[in-house]
Amino acid sequence: MTSFKIPESVLVVIHTPALEVLLIERADQPGFWQSVTGSMDAVEEPLAQTAAREVMEETGISVRPEDFRDWALANVYEIYPVWRHRYAPGVTRNTEHVFSLCVPPVTPVTLSPREHRAWEWLPYREAADRCFSPSNAEAVLMLPQFAG
């Protein structure tokens, strides 16, 4: 049986107190830089738990669900055609819930090579310019109002 992705996901803007943002480059799409993102594993999975799991899987940073700031912001967007096969037939839109996570500036990053090929800490404005996804760039630009 094929298991389709749930069209409900998280976007986690990982940042330092100085508003440097961690971006990771997709392994399957070189040049596509983004924050941590990922879909719920189960419909009943709490979003903060999804965020903690995805941060661990994609960066190796171990955190608890209560470490996140929930921005109470959701973006609904068209799923890029290149990734639509991962969803049930007819599913074309995803709802992405935005969170942030403040970490110390020397936090080590260990990528999942299957998913990402490079990482970089950038000042938040530069990070926004590097994001391939408009909703990701917008979230990064909003960081100062949610980080404090």
**DSSP label of 80:** P
Neighbours of 43 (CB within 10 A): 7
Residue 3 lies in a domain: no
CATH code (residue 87): 3.90.79.10
> How far, in Å, CA of 107 to CA of 128, rounded?
20
Q: Which CA distances in Å does 11 have to 62, 89, 94, 128? A: 16, 24, 12, 14
pTM: 0.94
Question: Counting every residue, how long is the chain?
Answer: 148
Dump pLDDT digits (tens) for 3-47. 899 999 999 999 999 999 999 999 988 999 999 999 999 999 999
Domain count across the chain: 1
Q: Taking Cα atoms as reference points, which of 136, 131, 124, 143 lies closest to residue 21?
A: 124
Dump pLDDT digits (tens) for 77-113. 999 898 899 999 999 999 999 999 999 998 999 999 9
Residue 1 lies in a domain: no
Residue 2 lies in a domain: no
Domain residue limits at 141: 8-147
